[in-house]
Amino acid sequence: MDSPITGYHQDELGDWVAQLACGHNQHVRHNPPWNNRPWVTTPETRQAMVGHKLNCKKCASGAAPDPRP
């Protein structure tokens, strides 16, 4: 299920986590060549992705909403 990004926070290791409208969180790491998301590296490019939809695997599995910091 696709769900739009509503905001972000950093986890305990400093990796960026997208907060989705469905209530779930999803890591959005930039770790080339495995994960190529250069847009997570600056505040401006992260903000530009608010509203962009990500595939939420937690919704597909029926998971409860995640806690938010």
Tens digit of each residue's pLDDT (9 = 90 or more) over 44-58: 999 999 999 999 999
Query: What is the extent of the structural domain holding 30?
Result: 2-60
pLDDT in tens, 4-29: 999 999 999 999 999 999 999 999 99
Total domain count, the chain: 1
C-beta separation of 7 from 19 below 8 A:
yes
The answer to the question of residue 40 being in a domain is yes
The answer to the question of residue 11 being in a domain is yes
CA distance 11 to 9: 7
The answer to the question of residue 23 being in a domain is yes
The answer to the question of residue 28 being in a domain is yes
The answer to the question of residue 69 being in a domain is no
The answer to the question of residue 66 being in a domain is no
